[in-house]
Amino acid sequence: MSDRKEFRDLAEPAEAHEAIASLDLEPEPETVELAEARGRILAERVDADLDVPGFDRASMDGYALRASDTFGADEADPAILELVGEVHAGSEPDVFVGEGECAEISTGAVLPDGADAVVMVEKTAEAGSEGEAIEIRTSVAPGNSVMPAGADIAAGQRALGPGTELTSREIGLLSALGRDEIEVRGQPTVGIVSTGDELVRPGEELHSDAGQIYDVNSYTIAAGVEEAGGEAKLYPHAGDDMAVMEEALTTAAEECDLVLSSGSTSASAVDVVYRVIEERGELLLHGVSVKPGKPMLVGRLEESAYVGLPGYPVSALTIFRTFVAPAIRRAAGVPEPRTATVEGTLAAEERYTEGRTRMMPVGLVENEAGETLVYPVDKGSGATTSLVEADGVVEVDADTEYLAAGETVTVTLFSPSVRTPAVLAFGEDDPAFSRLLDRLPSSRFLAVGSREGLRRLRDGLPDAAVVAGPVRREVESVGLGSWEREWGLIVPDGNPEGVDGFGSLADADLRFVNLDTATGLRASADAELDRLAAARDTDAAALQDAIDGYEFTLKAHESPARRVLDGKADAGLGLRATAEKLGLGFVPVDTQTVRVRANPERVEKQGVQDLKAALAGIDELFADLPGFSDS
């Protein structure tokens, strides 16, 4: 292995920020049409080059006149003025208003010469048989109901400054000034080069047996670049072919303000990056003392800035968000997002002693007192689900080895639009409950299994737990709803081995696939084995030993069935609903009850009430879930 890969001299986060700040990624300003300008940042200062409005403008329907002719007029003693013409919006007045005269005028029309005020129509009446005179029943001052030329903004005045974000409101002002094109800050072009033989672009065929995985970083980082105000450009996937990789890097450097590479975990690929940077640029920094994300490169490549991101998705996105996104925002002139942080209370103690600054992904939940509880969501830096199960990040200093439960921490939300879930549930991954969640869009459910769900409920973290099958240790809780589901052994279609229960698995040489002990299905299976052992006058452990694969467990409830489907097992633990969905055979064993149990302190919480109301209609979801029924 290369010495370089050991990252002996890790840079402090501040050094990494400095290294990136020393790079120039700022593109030239560009001119865009007003209709395309929303969300862009003004590069120029905009002064009005005309008066708005461009003329003295009537702001009421009524009569244009000389204010002095109305002095003293009221309902009892109106002034009578001669009607000499009319002026409509959008046309040039062809009338002069002299002393004792008036002209009909509509809102938005040009105040005719001679007139200095408008009286609204409601304060007037026609007079004279031919309507040739008008009664004015109020007195007005010069300028009444007139918006003078330039009153909104006058020629020569500063309208907007450079750095202004163009929202609908600024677009309104620019429209009023007649601007149909506008100079805005350029969006830095960010080239994304993903490397690694094992990566396949989404949509293409995947060969898992050959260790292939989908390329997560390319589209994820591209979306992150756009969120930060840059323009992302994906380069063809470079694999681990050194020539292709070098070509992709140098082409991207020619075409972009910043090149990001990510993906390859192979030492030889890293070596190519090192060589290309050293031959055609400069390496400023490699390795930063942050977890996740240690392997980060910063440098220059040709005329472009270069950052190498770690390969693991969570690491790559963390490094991107922490170090690269702020630089892209600066280059694009986009202000740092309004501080989207929340204070919360750590729900459980957290220990960590690796001596690197830790960017700890966390989820949020509101407790009964309206306080925010914070819990780590750390499924490893290879887990893309932790990206969507977390709400933000707590930065933990390198020298903080211990955070106590109840400690106050500051969470930087992933974006200001992140919301604390309305209801948080942990527990058994049940297909009916999973469908119910579609009706509760701001809910969050973590499929940790019944046992773990109950444990977390006891610790006071989630609002509710979903628990299936027998329970060893009771937890104080309030039932929100329950239903029954049929479980058993899932076998190939037609049940070719004639499996008729756990007994036949113990007696024949059949490969079985079990579920994790945290699941309620496993709890029921264990209970069934206890019953069977008693009936056979043996002990359950001996029976388990006799079943080939009883200790081979998977976590997800459909996974054993899929092993059977793939011909990798003869039988698997699962639900009738799963067997029928996958077109497999099913040997029923029993039914079990699934209960949704609320934290008793949080029953009044709106999200819990909404969950309870939704659960009242869960039987609507049983139609295509064979084996499911009301409790």
- b/e 504-524 (16+ beta carbons within 10 angstroms → b): bbbeeebbbbbbbebbbbbbb
Please give the angle made by the CA atoms of 445, 449 and 451, to the nearest 5 degrees.
Answer: 120
- Give least dist CB 4 to a copy of itself, A: 13
- 235/502 with CB nearer a copy of itself: 235
* Residue 382 falls in which region: left (phi positive, over 0), alpha (psi -120 to 50) or beta: alpha
Count Cβ atoms within 10 A of the Cβ of residue 171 and give its class: 0-12 exposed, 13-18 middle, 19 or more buried: middle
Taken in order 73, 76, 82, 84, the sign of the CA dihedral is: positive
Minimum separation from the CB atom of position 586 to a copy of itself (A)? 16
Question: Does residue 119 sit in helix, strand or coil?
Answer: strand
Q: How far is the CB of 121 from a copy of itself (least distance, A)?
A: 7
Instruction: Determine the residue type at 475.
Output: V
The SS3 call for residue 38 is: coil
In 3D space, the residue among 292, 297, 347 whose CA is nearest the CA of residue 324 turns out to be 297
Q: In whole angstroms, how close is the CB of 470 to a copy of itself at the nearest point?
A: 24
Complex with a copy of itself: residue 1 or 76, whichever CB lies closer: 1
CB of 310 to a copy of itself, least distance (A): 11
Alpha carbons 595 and 425: distance in angstroms, whole number: 12
Query: Side chain identity at 26, as an amino acid letter?
Result: E
Q: Of 24 and 241, which CB lies nearer to a copy of itself in the complex structure?
A: 241
- Residue 437: CB minimum distance to a copy of itself, A: 6
Q: Kindly tell me which of 151 and 348 has the beta carbon lying closer to a copy of itself.
A: 151
Structure tokens at 14: 């501040």
Nearer to a copy of itself, 303 or 343 (CB): 343
Contacts of 542 (CB under 8 A, 6+ apart): 533
Tell the smallest beta-carbon distance from residue 302 to a copy of itself (Å): 26
User: How far apart are CB 39 and a copy of itself at their closest, in Å?
Assistant: 9
Q: What's the closest the beta carbon of residue 82 comes to a copy of itself, in angstroms?
A: 21
* Choice between 152 and 246, CB closer to a copy of itself: 152
* Adjacent-strand bridge partners of 270: none
For residues 95 and 103, is the Cβ–Cβ distance under 8 A? yes
Q: Answer yes or no: are the C-beta atoms of 502 and 589 closer than 8 Å.
A: yes
Using a 10 angstrom Cβ sphere, with 0-12 exposed, 13-18 middle and 19 or more buried, the burial of residue 535 is exposed
Of residues 178 and 600, the one with the C-beta less far from a copy of itself = 178
C-alpha dist (Å) from residue 249 to 19, 281, 493? 20, 11, 51
Number of C-beta neighbours around residue 223 at 10 A: 12
Output the smallest distance, CB 552 to a copy of itself, in A.
10
Q: Looking at beta carbons only, is 52 or 615 nearer to a copy of itself?
A: 52
Please, which residue, 9 or 209, has the CB nearer to a copy of itself? 209
Q: Whose Cβ is closer to a copy of itself: residue 38's or residue 531's? A: 38
Query: In whole angstroms, what is the distance from residue 237 CA to residue 227 CA?
Result: 22
